[in-house]
């Protein structure tokens, strides 16, 4: 867990990420026949939040912010879902991390994803 909000660019945060399509397939495989089994898993929440962030960023770049409000909202909700987990299970303090706005939440997802993906390369 990071100790202060990192403002990583999406390119830096997702440098080692699989393609969006590959990640969608991996997420679908992870859910299996009982999606609720993985909903409590932090890695699943992190990967889902990162995937939706990447989709929202891609859509925003292609179509502009107003045309992609649904994708942005989905990414914001998934980021908050991860943060709620970390508050409950990892001692995260929203106030200590200055996690106030949806943008802050998505920055948190990027920093956490970059840290997680670095451990996956080992």
**Domain limits, the chain:** 10-120
CA angle in degrees (0–180, nearest 5) for 111-61-53? 30
Q: Minimal CA–CA distance to 30: which of 39, 21, 19?
A: 39
Whether residue 83 contacts residue 106, with contact meaning beta carbons closer than 8 Å, is answered with no
pLDDT at 79 over 80: yes
pLDDT of residue 109: 95
16-20, 87-91, 115-119: which range is least confident on average? 16-20
**pTM of the complete model:** 0.77
H or E stretch covering 105: helix 102-120
Reported confidence tier of residue 1, pLDDT bands at 50, 70, 90: very low
Q: What is the pLDDT of residues 42-65, one digit of tens each?
A: 999 999 999 999 999 999 888 987
Residue scoring higher pLDDT (56 or 99):
56
Q: What is the pLDDT of residues 21-41, one digit of tens each?
A: 888 888 777 766 655 555 568
Average pLDDT, the chain: 84
**Percentage of residues of the chain with pLDDT beyond 90:** 39
Q: Report how far residue 77's alpha carbon sits from residue 74's, in angstroms, rounded to the nearest whole number.
A: 5
pLDDT of residue 57: 94
Give the HSE-up count for residue 69: Cα atoms under 13 Å, Cβ half-sphere.
2
């Amino acid at each position: 867990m990071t100790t202060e909000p990192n403002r990583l660019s999406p390119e830096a945060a997702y440098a080692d990420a699989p393609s969006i399509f590959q990640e969608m397939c991996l997420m679908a495989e992870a859910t299996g026949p009982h999606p609720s089994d993985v909903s409590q898993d932090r890695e699943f929440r992190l990967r889902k939040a990162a995937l939706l962030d990447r989709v929202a960023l891609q859509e925003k770049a292609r179509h502009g912010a107003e045309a992609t409000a649904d994708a942005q909202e989905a990414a914001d909700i998934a980021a908050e879902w991860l943060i709620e987990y970390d508050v409950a299970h990892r001692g995260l303090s929203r106030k200590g991390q200055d996690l106030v706005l949806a943008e802050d939440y998505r920055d948190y997802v990027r920093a956490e994803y970059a840290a997680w993906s670095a451990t996956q390369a080992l």
